[in-house]
Amino acid sequence: TQLLEQSPQFLSIQEGENLTVYCNSSSVFSSLQWYRQEPGEGPVLLVTVVTGGEVKKLKRLTFQFGDARKDSSLHITAAQPGDTGLYLCAGASPGTYKYIFGTGTRLKVLA
């Protein structure tokens, strides 16, 4: 059974601070995604990474896929209250379109 462990599980920071969220597994993934979910809504896709070592930037968010395609990180620069939410990573095994979701990181950014 594949497992995606995210850390930290909870994170509360002040506006303007930087943070990094980690997503780790012992399995290799063909692609890995990051989603953000707000209360009462479905997850919204932020990014998909497919190449080992790949780095993608989305405004203040930087996503990295590990060289071995087993882990990923999400770095947020100068966090804002609007970044508050549940961040989920999800990985797909080679040859499948089924994504397994991580345990989630619940971020709260205080004004």
Partner 1 sequence: NAGVMQNPRHLVRRRGQEARLRCSPMKGHSHVYWYRQLPEEGLKFMVYLQKENIIDESGMPKERFSAEFPKEGPSILRIQQVVRGDSAAYFCASSPQGANGYTFGSGTRLTVV
Give the binding site for partner 1 (CB under 8 A): 31, 33, 35, 40-45, 48, 50, 88, 90, 92, 96-104, 106
| Shorter beta-carbon distance to partner 1: residue 16 or 52 | 52
Q: How far is the CB of 111 from partner 1 (least distance, A)?
A: 24
Q: How far is the CB of 4 from partner 1 (least distance, A)?
A: 8
Contact 16, 109 (CB under 8 A): no
Cα 43 to Cα 41: distance, rounded to the nearest angstrom: 7
| Shorter beta-carbon distance to partner 1: residue 33 or 84 | 33
Cα 108 to Cα 27: distance, rounded to the nearest angstrom: 29
Q: How far is the CB of 103 from partner 1 (least distance, A)?
A: 5
Residue 84 tokens, joined: 């508050």
Residue 7 tokens, joined: 């850390």
Cα 84 to Cα 12: distance, rounded to the nearest angstrom: 9
Structural Rg of the chain based on CA atoms: 13
| Shorter beta-carbon distance to partner 1: residue 16 or 94 | 94
Q: How far is the CB of 65 from partner 1 (least distance, A)?
A: 12
